[in-house]
Amino acid sequence: MQRRLAQMLHHRSAGLEKGDPVALPLTTSTSYHLPEVQGAPYIYARNGTPTWAAVEAQLSLLEDAEVVTFPSGMGAISAALFATLRAGERVILPSDGYYVTRVLSEGFLAPMGVDVVQIKTLDYATADFTGAAVVYLETPSNPGLDVVDIAAVCARAHAAGAMVIVDNTTMTPLMQRPLDLGADLVVAADTKAPAGHSDALFGHVAGRDAARMTRVRDWRRLSGSVPGSMEAWLVHRGLETLEVRLERMCATAGVIAARLAEHPAVLRLRYPGLPDDPSFALSKQQMQGFGFLIGMTLKDATVAEDFLARCPYLVRSTSFGGTHSAGERRARWGDAVPEGFIRLSVGVEPVEALWGAMAAALD
């Protein structure tokens, strides 16, 4: 991974000519000089742009796979599902995963004749995948932070004749490598930690099967689900500091989680990196970090909202993975969690400043 990260930072260096800009130029052109069609690297911006190519080169190095980028995480998830599933086929989805994926599937795939089956993330460990065309997995689950064995699920899904798509948003390719564990496609919201500054929606699909990736690429060009140049440029910039941000965010999350777990106001604390967490053993085995998300349950909705309102270093917003720590009571979206459950996304604030503010708000 270290070599891949260094290559990512220097992916343009070898191609620079004397006087070229070192930072990636932002190319907004929709049309490209095309005296003849053959041999042109760029034709029209719905097919591809130099700015997408640059961010896809970075993500490709990180994923060690072909990458197609999309204007959001949901754009990537839609592409993976719509480019794969046909009428009459079955997809298995996590009932406790990212809720928009479920709403999309029930609202659009099911009416087109896809059999949408939802099971709990932890049940992937034992579920019978017979008859499924696609097993779609999210681990750690969002927001519950339950973890399943990706390699074991892939082996059982493949034996049943199904392909596996993994939503790797919470971990990023730096901390979890589903393709190496047997997954057929990875989908991710780069809106979160990769872009990292809460200012760009973006997503990608990664895979190592050329035919499958061609279909994903065709979906983008034909459906018109194309990323904007500015967003691609922002994500390119964000990816350059992803590793250093994650290092800080995950280290801080580990410290904060351990202290929250000891706090009398906290009824339940989930963080995959705590040795007594149900996700710890598997996380240690299949992840290269424990992430920056913490699940914390306070007494009830009022106590949870008061805590968020009193803590000056937690922005009250949905989404995660930004530089600012954030907190949100997930029951407000209808997630199957207690009313007092808060998903914390730890940012890059110095740890003692953040903890001091959180402890004061809890006391």
Show the site string, 133-152: x = touches ligand PLP by CB under 6 A, - = not: -----x---x----------
Show the site string, 27-56: x = touches ligand PLP by CB under 6 A, - = not: ------------------------------
Q: Given the complex with ligand PLP, which of 69 and 142 has the nearer CB atom?
A: 142
Q: Of 219, 141, 138, 129, whose CA–CA distance to 183 is shortest?
A: 138
Q: Does 167 help bind ligand PLP (rule: CB under 6 A)?
A: yes
Q: Given the complex with ligand PLP, which of 138 and 184 has the nearer CB atom?
A: 138
Q: Given the complex with ligand PLP, which of 77 and 311 has the nearer CB atom?
A: 77
Q: Does 203 help bind ligand PLP (rule: CB under 6 A)?
A: yes
Q: How many CB atoms lie within 10 A of CB 119?
A: 16
Q: Does 327 help bind ligand PLP (rule: CB under 6 A)?
A: no
Q: Given the complex with ligand PLP, which of 142 and 225 has the nearer CB atom?
A: 142
Q: Which residue type does 303 have? A: V
User: DSSP letters of 155-181?
Assistant: HHHHHTT-EEEEE-TTTHHHH--TTTT
Q: Does 206 help bind ligand PLP (rule: CB under 6 A)?
A: no
Q: Give 109's contacts (C-beta < 8 A, 6+ positions apart).
A: 81, 82, 85, 91, 116
Q: How many CB atoms lie within 10 A of CB 336?
A: 13
Please select the residue that binds ligand PLP; options are 74, 171, 266, 354, rule is CB under 6 A: 74
Q: Given the complex with ligand PLP, which of 63 and 138 has the nearer CB atom?
A: 138
Q: Give 324's contacts (C-beta < 8 A, 6+ positions apart).
A: 198, 313, 315, 347, 349
Q: Give 78's contacts (C-beta < 8 A, 6+ positions apart).
A: 70, 104, 225
Q: Which helix (H) or strand (E) covers residue 283, if one does?
A: helix 280-286
Q: Does 72 help bind ligand PLP (rule: CB under 6 A)?
A: yes
CB of 345 to ligand PLP, least distance (A): 10
Per-residue buried b or exposed e for 28-52, using 16+ beta carbons within 10 Å of the residue's own CB: eeeebeeeeeeeeebeebeebbbbb
Q: Of 85, 21, 354, 88, whose CA–CA distance to 216 is shortest?
A: 85
Binding span for ligand PLP by CB under 6 A among 34-42, 47-55, 88-96, 163-171: 163-171
Show the site string, 174-193: x = touches ligand PLP by CB under 6 A, - = not: ---------------x-xx-
CB of 244 to ligand PLP, least distance (A): 22
Measured distance CA(32)–CA(43) in Å, rounded: 5
Binding-site ranges for ligand PLP (CB under 6 A) = 72-74, 98, 138, 142, 167, 169-170, 189, 191-192, 201, 203
